[in-house]
Amino acid sequence: MTSKEKFMLYVYDGDYGLPSINSECIKALLYCSIIEVPVQIRTLNNIKFCTFYSGPCFVHKNLSFKSSNDIVLYLNTLNYNLNVNLNPKQKSECLALTHLVQAKLRSVLEFQLWIDQRNLEEFTRIWYGRALPWPFNSILVKRFKENAINLIESLYPSDYNTEVIREDLQTMVTDCLSSLSTRLGTSNYFFGDKPSTLDIVVYSYVAPLIKLPLPANSFNGCVTLWPNLVRLIKRIDAKYLPGLPKESKYIKIRETTNTSDEEVSYVAISIFTLSAVTLVFGFAITRGIISSRYF
C-alpha cells in the first residue's frame, strides 16, 4: 500500500481512559480497532493538522470523510463491515436502537460538556484550550458550544431553564439506559459474543459519562445503576482499547494540602475570635473604659 493509499484517521486527543474526548472520534477509532482496519491515527494537536482537518476525518487516496457514519459506510464498501453477520431482524433492531441512543444520549453528553456552565468553565473550555493550539482551541470551543445550544434548543424550543432541562434529560437518560440494559442482559455484547455498531455507539456516549471528571456530573450515577452496561464499557476497554492512560494529560488534579476541613474551621474560628477581641478593646479604649496607658 503506497503512501497515497494508506488509511489515515485524524481525531481529537483522548484523555481519562478515553481514546478521544469527542464522541464522533470515539466511534471512528473504535470501529477501526474492532474491525482491524490498518489505519494510521493522527492526533489533531498541532497547527498544521488543525488547519486542514477536523475530527474525525478519514482520508484514503483522494477521498475524505468527516463523520463517523460516512466513515463506516465507506469502510463497508471495502469489506470492513462489522454487522455483516447479523440477520435482517438483528440489523433492523441494531438500527432502531442506534437511533434511540443517538437521540437520547447525545443530547445528555452535549448538555453536560457545553451547556452546563460549571462544566464548561471549569473543565471543557480548559481542556480544549490546552489540548489544541491557538486559535483553533477558541474556534472549536465556540463551534461546539453553538452546536450544542442548537441541539438543546431544537429539543426544548420554549424552555430556557437549564434545571428543568436537566431534570428532563435525567428522565430521558434513565429510560434509555434501562432499555439498553434490558436488551443487553447477560450477553457480552448486544448481539452475542462479537460487538456491533450498536456497541460502539453506546460506548461513545456512555463511556464519557462514566470517565470524565466533570465538576457537575449528575448523570454519572445513572449509569452505575446498570452494572451490565458498566461491564460492557470495561470489556471493550480491555479487548479493543487496552493501555489507555487514565491519568489526565491536560488538567492535573489539584494537590491536596494537609489542612483538613476541621483544621480550616479552627483557623477560621481563631481569626474570628481575635477580630472580635480586638474590636471590643478598641471600643473600650475609645470610650475611656480602658486607659490606653496600660498598652
39-43 and 7-11 strand pairing: parallel
Write down the pLDDT at residue 157.
87
Model confidence, pTM = 0.83
Give whole-number Cα distances, 163 to 158, 160, 170, 212, 218, in Å: 14, 9, 10, 21, 11
Tens digit of each residue's pLDDT (9 = 90 or more) over 175-207: 999 999 999 999 999 999 999 999 999 999 999
Tens digit of each residue's pLDDT (9 = 90 or more) over 12-54: 999 999 999 999 999 999 999 999 999 999 999 999 999 999 9
Tens digit of each residue's pLDDT (9 = 90 or more) over 49-106: 999 999 999 999 899 999 999 999 999 999 999 999 999 999 999 999 999 999 999 9
Tens digit of each residue's pLDDT (9 = 90 or more) over 244-268: 888 888 887 653 233 333 333 433 3
Structure-block grid coordinates of residue 201: 455507539
Q: Is the pLDDT of residue 293 over 70?
A: no
With beta carbons less than 8 A apart as the criterion, state whether 83 and 196 touch: yes
Give whole-number Cα distances, 146 to 140, 154, 156, in Å: 10, 12, 15
- Return d(Cα 132, Cα 38) in angstroms, integer: 26
Write down the pLDDT at residue 219.
80
Q: Is the pLDDT of residue 117 over 60?
A: yes
Write down the pLDDT at residue 4.
53
- Return d(Cα 129, Cα 52) in angstroms, integer: 19
* CATH class, range 7-240: mainly alpha
With beta carbons less than 8 A apart as the criterion, state whether 108 and 209 touch: yes
- Return d(Cα 217, Cα 64) in angstroms, integer: 35
Write down the pLDDT at residue 255.
34
